A and B are shown apart, each in its own frame.
Chain A
């Protein structure tokens, strides 16, 4: 083995080359998410193709693209919920399987069974499970964190409410409170604005800004183009491939949006063109 990954005395990852002195890895903290040549396929049909991405720290990133563009699949790939056909994903410079616990996740609201026999507090406390050992039950401190998180999304009065008896917007806020309670550094949110009322939408935006200000990185799947422009620092235009990724003001252009939403035919022909060029 030429290079060996280990930790130094301070707990940071280091790399040792040719049995020389350990050197710290530089990429780790500043790059929360790095994806290289990621391809995901369902039944041999590619959904994501050759994704290269490096997300800087402390940014609020919107993932935008038409239906079937692979937005949710991208998040699921990072969460390890779908298997990768090729490529790799690194979170804070480490293989995604080892540092996934630094990731907070807000799934699509419909992805869970809201008749599940738990109340609001139970769901938010699930966000603390990553900080607890085997058998260990949530402590008073965990409950305090859960209560604070609920307070932030104005759901504290509902702490003992059965989750089946919540409105759509309230369900979404519970998920957000749970993500807050996870105290992660990198967040993935899958359409948090889908089917919520205006008040909840404002509350979510405020919360995302607050998280960003605390140095967290957020990637949010979003459907609505007009609001995307106002909500996010950076946009990832996705349609099976990365059409563009950059600061919102640079990426939110007619041509790039046209390329993203203009149908898959354009994208596929561009790919075919590229392949032809590479072959010659």
Chain B
């Protein structure tokens, strides 16, 4: 009976091509690492970079081809939204490989496995961009998280690394458990795991209201851990400090973006009809996240921790459009979150990359070690200022456009709550400017510690990453239409 009911699902290999290329690359890395051991150590990072760029090719062909591709009864959809975000993840992954190459190569830690884990984690992100089903979202989320737990503890002989990894792991699986429990309740009342079907049944009413409310709350809280929203952010600063810096950059950009992508598709496809439940929740999360993140960032003396709290605060800005989506409409909210993610990718990876470049000489992440950077590394100083002022949202650097889009969404159809939130975003941007500028002040005006003025040698791949991020940050700031165009394509089922 069951066998007769089974029919082979139609598989569109073109739609899966980016994932297939990535799987090919990561298997190749594993084999090369196994067969050639030390002789091929340098090759693994090259292979990883090529694999990521190779996976961008089918994304371009799919974009040119146009049209939405839906598979497995709507559980896996390749539309413009998915393509824009897959490209974002692949570029973020490529920049991570660029900044990792020398950092990992010079340490005495394994290389082949590092890139294997990084690519597996990126595979989860590619899948999550297309996942439109509770099961596939869960599987994709775990595929991207489990390698990330290991990457966070990559320095396994360092207690800080162990601690970072354990905290990330325990809170990560706790969040997955909470999210999954929410999903089970939603499955129970809607009889389906496909997001579009859940959306119809929740909007149609008839479902048990208390259970739906608890289910939605649990799912959103589970993801609030992943995007490190206050009060679920406790793991983020510790993990960011203890993890290898390239992984910190990766977690704060790509992993956070993946959490937002899943939130976008869950909230705006499955839960859209129940905005009475999630709108107030997002309002509180957003207000708390940006305020707490910024206020704690003010008293940080370590640049990595400062960037960690800054990334918590930035998540707060990105949560703001969710809090008003019921009034302004889904499309505008999706557009503004995607815009913010695209801009944030360039400026945040850039900021981490310059910090890494300086730390190559100073061997420290303390703010005071940045003193007088201008006297011996003027180029890096200018770049540091570019990225930090971009994060603060100063025109003409990229960040202002991202903030503008958030403001526009909040004030488009003003209600009391959205205006209050917009005011909070404004106040927080001002607080943010203070600590971002304190890094710049340190580099331009303070004396050099220990009078050590030996110039910094920046390896070529790190320099390439910094250059790419700087060009992107400046270009977006001057010609914001580039991002605007991609973000405009993004809303679902265009």
Q: Do A and B come from one complex?
A: no
Taking beta carbons and an 8 Å cutoff, which residues of A are in contact with B? none
Taking beta carbons and an 8 Å cutoff, which residues of B are in contact with A? none
